[in-house]
Amino acid sequence: MPLTRREFLKVTGMGLAAGSLGMLGFGASGVAQAAAVRPFKLAHATETRNTCTYCSVACGILIYSMGDRAKNALSNIIHIEGDPDHPVNRGTLCPKGSALLDIVHAPTRLKAPRYRKPGGTEFEEVSWDFALDRIARLMKEDRDKHFITQNAAGTTVNRWISTGMLAASASSSETAYLTWKVARSLGMVVFDNQARV
Amino acid sequence: MSDLQSQDYVRRSATTMTPPAARSHEDQVAKLIDVSRCIGCKACQSACMEWNDLRPEIGHFEGSYENPMDLGPSVWTLMKFAEYENEQGNLEWLIRKDGCMHCEDPGCLKACPAPGAIVQYANGIVDFISDKCIGCGYCVKGCPFDIPRISKTDHKSYKCTLCSDRVSVGLEPACVKACPTGAIMFGSKTDMTNWAGERIEDLKSRGFEKAGLYDPPEVGGTHVMYVLHHADKPSLYSGLPDKPRISPVVEVWKGILKPLAVIGIAMAAVGAFFHWTTIGPNEVTDEDEAEAARVLREKEEEST
Amino acid sequence: MTNTWQDIRNANLVIVMGGNAAEAHPCGFKWVIEAKIENGAKLVVVDPRFTRTASVADYYAPIRPGTDIAFLSGVMHYLLEKDTIQHAYVRAYTNASLIVADGFSFEDGHFSGFNGETNTYDKSSWNYEFDEQGFAKTDDTWQDQRCVINLLKQHVSRYTPEMVSRITGTPQDKFLHICELIAATAAPDKAMTSLFALGWTQHSVGAQNIRAMAMVQLLLGNIGVAGGGMNALRGHSNIQGLTDIGLLSNQMPGYLSLPTDKETSYDEYMKTKLFKPLRPGQTSYYQNYGKFVVSLQKALWGDAATKENNWGYDWLPKLDIPLYDIIKAFEMMNNGEMTGYICQGFNPLQAFPDRGKIRRGLSKLKFLVTMDPLDTETSRFWQDFGPQNPAKSSDIQTEVFQLPVTCFAEESGSLVNSARWLQWHWKAAEGPGKAMSDIWIMSGIFHRLREMYRKDGGAFPDPILNMSWKYTNPIAPDPEELAKEMNGRALADLTDPVTAVVTKAGSQLDAFAQLRDDGTTASGCWIFAGSFTEKGNQMARRDATDPREQGIAPNWAWAWPANRRILYNRASADLDGKAWNPKKPVIEWNGTRWAGIDVPDYGPTVKPSDGVGPFIMNAEGLGRLFALNLMAEGPFPEHYEPFESPSENVLHPKVPNNPVARVFADDRASFGHRRDFPYVATTYRLTEHFHFWTKHALINAILQPEEFIEIGEVLAKEKGIAQGGWVKVSSKRGEVICKAYVTKRIKPMTVDGKSTHVIGVPLHWGFTGQARKGYGANTLTPSVGDANTQTPEFKAFLVNIERTAAPAT
C-alpha cells in the first residue's frame, strides 16, 4: 500500500490519540450490551386506514396514532405510511404522501376562528357563534338585496350572483354534497371548485 | 423493544471478537437501487426524515434540485442529480440516491476507535451506536463513500441505519417502502443480486450495453447496491466512486499500528481518549491529530 | 381516466404528453414502470422540458408550449396517410362512416357559421345528414367525400411533418419517430395509453388538446381496451368527486345540467336532454335523464318536490350565461359587482391567473370567508408581506373570516380518485384546537340562514325552507347518512318490470337502473347508485383480488358507474364479441351474455349481432371523430396559438387565436406582445410539493425550500445569468424576482425558422407556511381561459427575463 510520510504521520497521530480500548478490556464488560437498535415505535400504536389528501391517485395510507383509543387517551398522530394492501400504491408514497405527518401537524394549522375588521391590520380570535352569526347575517343581507327572482323577460330564474363560493376538491364527497345542497338552496351560481383550474 | 442481541453482531468497532458461531444461518439483507427506474422524486428522502424523526434546517435554492445540499447529521439519504449528455448528444438525467452503502468490509467500523460505537449485524447492516460514539470523526475518514457526518451539537456521528429498527421487526426500510416506482427494493442479498441481473438484461435490450450491478469488491461488496445504466462509469452518477477503497490511512492503522498502540502506548492513548470524550475532538495536542480534526470539522454540517 | 391506474401495466406504448406523471403522480406512475418491465412497453414523453418523466423515458421530444393540437393533428395525418389505423374498429365503433351535412366547412381558421361581430358560431351546420326517419346517413365504403373520415383526412392534410415541426419546434425526425411508435399500436392486440393532466387543460384550446388525442386513440382502436384509453390523471384527491357531484357553476350531481333561463319549465328543460338515437337500434342512455333529475329533486326537497310543482324545478337557480366561472367571478369582483365570497379549502390568491387582479378583486368585497386547515395567502390578502404581497390594510374594507377546518385525517368519508373509485376513509384523530369539520360549518351557516328566513322572511325563502335535512344529527350530519342519500333509496315499493323483484320502500337502491321519474325514488347523485346499498358501504370494500392481475381489482372500493372499471369496455372486443387482444380480454360474448373481469359498459345480454354501438352514452352509439356541436370552437381540433405567443399562426395568420375564447377587455389590455416579452413561459408543479399546501409541511419545505425558475444554458449565456443567480421575470401583469436554475433540460427550439426559448416557472411559492417567501407563478399568468371550460391558460404565455441583484434581506 502506497503511503506518504505525511500520511504515515497522520496514522501515527490517530493511533496515539485513540488506541484500541476494547483490546485493553474497556469494552469487555456490560458496555457491549448497550442499546443498539432503536425501539420500533409503532408496536402498540393504533392503525387507521385513510386516503392521501393530495392528488387523485388516492393512495391508501395507514395513520398511526398514540394511544389505543381508551377513554383517557387522546389520539395523537405519530406516523403515516402507505397501505400495502392498496391495489394502486401497494404501500408506496410520494414525497408529499411520505410527509403527511408534517401537514397534519403544520405549525400553520389553524386552531381558532379569526376575524379581521374592515381596515384592520391584524386578525383577532373570535368565537364560532360570532363568526357564523355574522357570516349568515352578511349573506342574508346581500341575498335579500340582490337576489334575482325573474329576468328581464319575466322568466323565473331565482339566482344569486353577488355572493359566490369556491368548494374544496380535497373535501370528502359527503362534504361536497352537503355544500352543494346549501349553496344551491340559496340560489348561488357563482360556484366552482378546483376542477375549473 | 429490545435491541439486537450481541450474538447478532458480527463485527464491533475497536473490539476483537469472533462472530457467534452457533448463529450462522441468518440471511444477509440488501437494498437494491435501480437508477434506471428512479424518477428522483425524493420520496425516499421524505420517508427517511419522517420515520427517523429527522428535520434538518430549511435551506435555500442553490442551482440544483438537490436539497438539502449535502448529507448531514439529520440528512441520511440524498437524491443527487447529474445532467449528462451522452455520446449521441442526447440528454440523460442521472439521478442517484446517496447514502450509506452498508459495506461488507466497512471502512468506518475499521477506523472507529471507540469500542462498540459501530457494529455490523449478521444481516449485514452497519449501525452507529450513539452512546458509544466519541465524535472523533474517524468513521468519516474511513468511509470510502463520504457518508457519515458529525453533529455539531452533540459531537456524534450519524448516518443511515438501513432502518435497523424496522428490519429488526421484519419490515423493509422506510425509503424502500415509500419508493413509488420500485427503484429501491429490499430483500436478501442473493435475491437482490438475481433481480439486478434481470434488470440489467432489460437495460441492455434497451440499448444500455454497459448496464451493470454496482457491488464493489474493493469493500467486500455492499448491502446497498445500484443497478447502473453506465456501470462502466459509476462516477457519472454524481461522483459514485469508480473504485471505492478504504483510505490507506485506515488500512495501516488497522494492520500495523493498532497492535503497536496496544503494546507500547496504551496509557497515553487512554489519557487522550478521556480528554477527548470530555472536551471534544478539537483539543488533542498532537499536531497531526489537529490536522485530522480540522479536516473532519470541514465535513460537519453548519447545523444539525 | 377511462381505465385504472394499474391497467397502465397492460400498455405496449405509454405516451405522456400534456402532463408529467412521474413528477405529479409518482405512485400512479409506478404502473408505467411496471408496463416497461413486465410488458416490454416503451415510454414516450413529449414536453417542453426534459422532465423527471423524461428521465426514465425510452424516447423524448421537445414541443413548444401550446402547440399540441398541431402535433396531434400531424399524428392523425400520418396515420391516415400511411393507412395505419385499426380499420375494423374505426368502421364499426366510430362515426367515421357517417355523412356530414352539406353546410359544414372549414376555411381560413374558421368553421362554418362564424359570426365575426359576436365571435360566436351558429353551429347548425356542424351536424350529420339525416334520412327521413331522422337517422344519420352513413357510407360504410367511405366513398362519399362527406364521410367524417374523409373530412378528417382533408382537415389534417395541412399538418405535414414540415408544418408540424415549423409550428411546434419539434424536430421532424423526432416527430416522425414518435408517429412510427404510435402507429404500431393500431394492431388489434396492441394498445397505447395516453396519460395527461393540466399540461393539456390549461390552454385556451385545452379541451381540444384532449379531444385530438382521443381521436388518435379512436383511429388506433385504443379506447375501451386493456392498456389503452384516455387517462386524465387529475389533481386533487377529490377533484373527480366534486366534478361528479356537480360543484361547478353549471352542473348538478351526476353531470346533469343546471337549468338555463331559456329552459323556462321542467318540460322545456327536458326537451334538450332526451337525446333520441341517431342510428337505428342504439341505446342512447341519456333517454333516462328524467329519472335522474326527478330522483335528485326528491333527494333535495323530499316530500316538497311533487309532480304538481314540477319536482321543485323553480327552486333550482337558472343560468343566464353559460358559466359563472372563476375568471368571470373575479371580473365581476373587480367591477364591484360582488359582495361576498366563500373559499372552502381553496386559495385563489395563489391559484387563479393574474394575481394582481385577484388581490384587487378581493379588496372590493364586503366580506370574505375562508375555510381551511391552513393559514392561506387568500385569508391574508389584506396584509402587507412586502413585495410578495404589497397590501395597504387600512385601505381595504373587506371583512375577513378565517375559519379553521379539520383535515383528511380528522374525518370519515369518501373520495373519488381519477379512476372513478369511491374509497372510504376513517377518522384517526380530533382536529387541533377549535377546528371543526366543513360539514359542521356549512350546516351551521345553513341553519342560521334558515332560521332567519323562517322568522323574518326575505328574498325567495322557499328553496331554503323546503330543503330536505332529515339527518339524525342536523347540526353535523353523519357522512354515512349523506353517502346513503347520494346512493338513493326507494320511496315506495318498487317492482322490477322484468324480474318482478320488489324493492321495499325505504330500502337503499342497488343501481341507477332502478331510478324512476314518478317520484318513487330519491338519489342525490345517480351515478353513485350502488355505492351504499342494503349490503352496506361498498366504498369501504377492501378485497384487492385482481383476476389475472390485469389491474381491475373489482372488489376494492366501488367505481362509478355500476362498479365499472374500464369505460367503453364493449369496444375491447371485436364485432363478434371476441377480445381484440386475446391475451388481455376485458369482457367477451359467451353466447348468452357479456362476461369477463369487468362490468360490461353495455347491455349485458345484447348480442353482438344486434349492432348496438359500444359508446352507449352517445346518441349514435359511436366514438366521435366529428364532435357535432358539442365543442365551442369546432367539430375538429384546429391549431390556434396561445393568446400570448412568440409566433404568427402560420396556418391562418388572420385568425391566430381561439376565435370563440371569451376575453374581457381589461384582460385583453393586459396581454403582452412578443416585442416586449420575447420568451415563452410555462408553469408547473415540482414533485416535492403539492400546489400551495406542502410549503406548510416542514419536510417538503426542506426538500424544495425556495422559489426559482428554470432556463436553458443558451439563454442563460445570452443574458449573463449564472447558475443559481438572481433574475427578474416579468410579464405584462407583474414580475417575479427569484433564483435561476440553468439547465441542459431546456433547449431552444426552432419555431417558424426562429430560435425560441422556454422559461419554466414552478408554481408553489407564496407568503405563508414554512418554505421561503415567494411571489407565485400566477403573478405572471394571463387571465384567459379555454372556450369550453374557462380553464386558465397557465401553460403558455410570454415573459421577459433579466439578471438582477439579490434582494436586500
Q: Long-range contacts of range C473-479, CB-CB < 8 Å, 24 or more positions apart?
A: C474/C443, C474/C447, C475/C440, C475/C443, C475/C444, C475/C447, C476/C437, C476/C439, C476/C440, C476/C443, C477/A174, C477/A178, C477/C439, C477/C443, C479/A172, C479/A174, C479/A175, C479/C411, C479/C412, C479/C413, C479/C414, C479/C439
DSSP C505-542: TTPBPS-GGG--SSSSEE-SSGGGTTSEETTEEGGG-B
Give the whole-angstrom CA distance, residue A173 versus residue C412.
Answer: 10
> Least CA distance to B78: which residue of chain C?
C703
Dihedral class, residue C229 (left if φ above 0, else alpha if ψ from -120 to 50, else beta): left
DSSP assignment of A64-104 equals EEES-S-TT---EEEEEEE-TT-TTTTT---TTGGGHHHHH
Show the low-confidence residues of chain C (pLDDT under 70): none
Per-residue buried b or exposed e for A149-170, using 16+ beta carbons within 10 Å of the residue's own CB: eeeeeebbbbbbbbbbbbbbbb
Interchain CB distance below 8 Å, B261 and A101 = no
pLDDT of residue C91: 97
Q: Output the nine-digit C-alpha cell for C744.
A: 441542459
Instruction: Provide the 10 A C-beta neighbour count for residue B217.
Output: 11
Indicate the residue of B113, B177, B286 with minimum beta-carbon distance to A20: B113
ipTM above threshold 0.85: yes
Q: Which residues of A touch B119 (CB under 8 A)?
A: 36
Lowest mean per-residue pLDDT among A29-38, B32-41, C106-115, C666-675: A29-38
> C338 with A145: CB under 8 angstroms?
no
Q: Do residues C598 and C554 touch, judged by C-beta distance below 8 A? A: yes
Q: Is A116 on the interface with C (CB under 8 A)?
A: yes
A62 to chain C, any CB pair closer than 8 A? The answer is no
- Report the distance separating Cα C482 and Cα C489, nearest Å: 12
Contacts of B45 in chain C (CB under 8 A): 703
Does residue A17 surpass a pLDDT of 50?
A: no
Residue A37: per-residue pLDDT? 81
Please answer yes or no on whether C26 and B180 come within 8 Å at the CB atom.
yes
Cα C179 from chain centroid (whole Å)? 26
SS3 C720: coil
- B68 prior amide bond cis, ω within 30: yes
The per-residue DSSP string of C648-690 comes to: --SS-TTS-S-TT----HHHHHT---TTT--EEEEEE--TT--
Q: Read off the C-alpha cell for C246.
A: 356537480
CA angle C700, C701, C705 (to 5 degrees): 125
Q: Please tell me which of the candidates C22, C702, C771 has its beta carbon nearest to residue B39.
A: C22
Element (H, E) at B195: helix B189-205
Which chain B residues contact residue C687 at CB under 8 A?
A: 39-42
Nearest CA in chain A to C471: A178
Tell me phi and psi for residue B31, to 5 degrees.
-105, 130
What does the alpha-carbon distance between residue B134 and residue A26 come to, in Å, rounded to a whole number?
A: 14
- For residue B294, count CB atoms less than 10 angstroms from its CB and return exposed for 0-12, middle for 13-18, buried for 19 or more: exposed
pLDDT at A22 over 50: no
- The verdict on A75 touching C (C-beta cutoff 8 Å) is yes
The C-alpha cell that represents C675 in the structure block: 416585442
Give A43→chain B minimum CA distance, Å.
Answer: 8
Nearest by Cα to C179 from C220, C210, C209 = C220
Instruction: Name the grid cell of B256.
Output: 500495523
- Which of A 87-106 lie inside 8 A of B, CB atoms? 89, 91-99, 101-102
Find where cell 405529479 sits.
Answer: C24
CB pairs under 8 A between A and C: 486
CB contact (8 A) between residue C744 and residue B95: no
Contact B49 A99 (CB under 8 A): yes
**Measured between beta carbons, which residues in chain B are less than 8 angstroms from residue C181?**
none
Instruction: Please give the angle made by the CA atoms of A104, C348 and B65, to the nearest 5 degrees.
Output: 60
Q: How far apart, in whole angstroms, are the C-alpha atoms of residue C701 and residue C713? A: 27
Nearest Cα residue to B150 out of B276, B60, B9: B276
Does B42 sit within 8 Å of C26, measured CB to CB? no
Of the ranges B26-35, B175-184, C173-182, which one carries the lowest mean pLDDT score? B26-35
> Looking at the predicted structure, is the pLDDT value of residue B22 above 80?
no
Q: Please check whether residue B108 is in contact with residue B11, taking contact to mean a CB–CB distance below 8 angstroms.
A: no
Order across the sheet with C367-372: list the strands.
A124-125, A114-116, C399-404, C367-372, C340-344, A163-167, A191-193
- Residue C29 sits at the chain B interface (C-beta within 8 Å): yes
Q: Which residue of A has its CA nearest to B13?
A: A22
Which residue from C365, C368, C369 is spatially nearest to C337, judged by alpha carbons? C365
Question: Is there a contact between B39 and C687 if contact means CB atoms under 8 Å apart?
Answer: yes
Q: Is the pLDDT of residue A174 over 60?
A: yes
Taking the CB of residue C120, how many other CB atoms lie within 10 A of it?
A: 13
Tell me which residues of chain A, numbers 23 to 52, contact chain C at a CB-CB cutoff of 8 Å: 46, 48-52
pLDDT of B246-300, one tens digit each?
888 777 766 555 555 444 444 444 444 444 444 444 333 345 455 545 545 554 5
C-alpha cell at position A164: 359566490
Euclidean distance between the first and the last CA atom of chain A, given in angstroms as a whole number: 65
A30–chain B Cβ distance below 8 A for any pair: no
Please report, rounded to a whole number, the percentage of residues in chain B having pLDDT higher than 90.
Answer: 73
Torsion angles phi and psi, residue B182, rounded to 5 = 70, 25
Rounded Cα–Cα distance for residues C478 and C467 (Å): 17
Contacts C528 to A, Cβ<8 Å: 173
What is the length of chain A? 197
Answer whether B273 sits within 8 Å of A18, measured CB to CB: yes
B300 touches chain A (CB under 8 A): no
A124 touching C (Cβ < 8 Å): no
Alpha-carbon distance C73 to C106, whole Å?
A: 15
Residue B268: the pLDDT is 43
Q: What is the pLDDT of residues A79-121, one digit of tens each?
A: 999 999 999 999 999 999 999 999 999 999 999 999 999 999 9
Among A19, A81, A93, beta carbon nearest to B113: A19
Nearest-by-CA chain A residue for C553: A87
- Tell me what pLDDT residue B1 has: 30
Give me the pLDDT at residue A36, please: 64
The amino acid at residue C311 is: W
Letter string b/e over residues C470-496, b meaning 16 or more CB atoms within 10 A of that residue's CB: ebeeeebbebbebbbbbbbbbbeebee
Q: Which residue of chain A comes nearest to C465, CA vs CA?
A: A185
For the stretch A104-130, what's the b/e string if a residue is b when 16 or more beta carbons lie within 10 angstroms of its beta carbon?
bebeebbebbbbbeeebeebeebebee
Q: Is the pLDDT of residue A35 over 70?
A: no
CB C365 within 8 A of CB C339: yes
DSSP letter string, C158-204: T--HHHHHHHH---HHHHHHHHHHHHGGGSTT--EEEEE-HHHHSST
Rounded to 5 degrees, what angle do the CA atoms C561, C564, C565 make? Answer: 125
C-alpha distance from A115 to closest chain B C-alpha (Å)? 31
Helix C438-456 and helix A173-185, axial crossing angle in degrees, nearest 10: 20
Chains that touch C (3 or more CB pairs under 8 A): A, B
**Tell me, what DSSP letter sits at residue B256?**
I
Q: For residue C270, with 0-12 CB atoms within 10 Å meaning exposed, 13-18 middle and 19 or more buried, which class applies?
A: middle
Please write down the HEC assignment for all residues of C602-645: CCCCCCHHHCCCCCCCCCCCCECCCCCCCCCCCCCCCCCCCCCC
Q: How far apart are CA C486 and CA C794, in angstroms?
A: 35
The answer, for A153 touching chain B at a CB cutoff of 8 Å, is no
The CA distance from B48 to C102, in Å, is 65
Question: What torsion, rounded to 10 degrees, do the Cα atoms A8, A14, A20, A21 define?
Answer: 160
Q: Give the bridge partners for C521, in sequence order.
A: C490
Where are the extended beta strands (E) located within C197-319? 230-232, 251-252, 256-257
Q: Find out whether B160 and B75 touch, Cβ atoms under 8 Å.
A: no
User: Residue C654 phi/psi, 5° resolution?
Assistant: -80, -15
> How many angstroms separate the CA atoms of C654 and B152, rounded?
67
CA-based nearest distance B208→chain C, Å: 11
The neighbouring-strand residues paired with B186 are: B31
Q: Look up the pTM and report it.
A: 0.93
d(CA A96, CA B234): 30
Which C-chain residues 693-732 have CB contacts (< 8 A) with chain B?
698-708, 723-724
Q: What is the largest CA-CA distance in chain A?
A: 102
B to C CB pairs, distance under 8 Å: 111
Q: Provide the 3-class DSSP secondary structure of residue B130.
A: helix
